[in-house]
Amino acid sequence: MKITKIESFLCNAGLRNYLFLRLHTDTGLTGIGEASLEWQEDTVRTLVHEFLENRYVLGVHPFDIESLVDRMVRDQYQGGATVMTAISGIEIALWDIVGKACGQPVYKLLGGRCHERLPAYANGWYGGARSPEQYANAAIAAVARGYTGLKFDPFGVAWKEIPRRALRQVVDLVSKVRLAVGDDVDLMIEGHGRFGVETAIEIAHALEPFHPAWFEEPTTPDSIDLLAEVKSRISTRIAAGERLYTVPEFFQMISKRACSILQPDVAHCGGILTAKKIAGMAAAQEIVISPHCSIGPVALAAALHLDMCTPNFLIQECFSEFDVPWRNDLVHGWNPIKNGEFELPEIPGLGLELNEAAIAAHPYVRNSFPSLWDRGWYEQFTQNE
């Protein structure tokens, strides 16, 4: 068996575009992957076809995943999100082929079931909310769907510092959400790498009375040392890792114990097998994983297979019920979220296929993802429908 062709499919999903891949073999088996990357989907697509396709992927046996990924990572030389996302998308598609060829779900080939249930936390649930009262009402609605965890960024367009008045508004917002959902729902505070060390520490202390489950990316992901300093000076747990792209970067984060919850993104860090290795390193330092996944349904499927076969999995991010209405139409056989938990079907491979007609009905939109530090994104995300 060998790979004979790569197809790529770009489509729009509101604030994001999705890039799906499909690998063909000479036996007729196909495998799908996802290589979506905010702002850079078309560039990733170019890398797939101009750099990876002919030089590395065509002619390769789809079972030779370890060797192929190793060579692609080694030879791309510069590293970074764009090329690692291209490599990850191909790797995910290879595992889909392997699962289909073996007649098994991917997770059964990587250690088997470790969990009876896969809990989810909601993200994107606060779209359209501006005031603390609107956030509180949106939180109640999300919890009514079965979620026991809610993640949100209450910081507007803050960067490095936050004025006293703005911090009081953040405290008021978080307070009202906590009051609305009660003490048994986890609140994950998203920082998006916004703050300097001292500001991050001040914010963490101000939010301690509301018992956040974690403070995510309070400082820039470019400096693990800064993150470690924040962690050493606050009591709230730190979550980070979505913007790390190589095993050595994750090793540094883990060896310094700069976070308590590690968030590798299967679609960016090298794929499913690499993420499994990262989870193993984290387990050795008693760090749990909560994979990041803010993109499409194929990347989510890959994350769920990782979750199922990983002992130190904690909880999975979920945008599924807060994305565009056509999200699930983009694939066949996929609606995995039920009452705040994920279910994995006993289907060989990843368990889903692309719906080309739905993908074509929602064409790529250039620059669909605005900067998180401009008023434009905030106005767009918080506008009431």
Catalytic residue annotation: 192, 292
Contact of 65 with 31, CB cutoff 8 Å:
no
Q: Are strands 30-34 and 16-25 parallel, antiparallel or unpaired?
A: antiparallel
Residue 195 β-bridge partners: 160
What are the structure tokens assigned to 365, written together? Answer: 């939109």
The b-or-e profile of 60-74 (16+ CB within 10 A means b, else e) is bebeebeebbeebbe
What is the C-alpha to C-alpha distance for residues 105 and 345, in angstroms, rounded to an integer?
8
Please name the amino acid found at residue 312: N
What is the C-alpha to C-alpha distance for residues 324 and 335, in angstroms, rounded to an integer?
14
What is the C-alpha to C-alpha distance for residues 260 and 271, in angstroms, rounded to an integer?
22
Contact of 118 with 308, CB cutoff 8 Å:
yes
Place of tokens 């936050």: 162
H or E element: which one contains 256? none
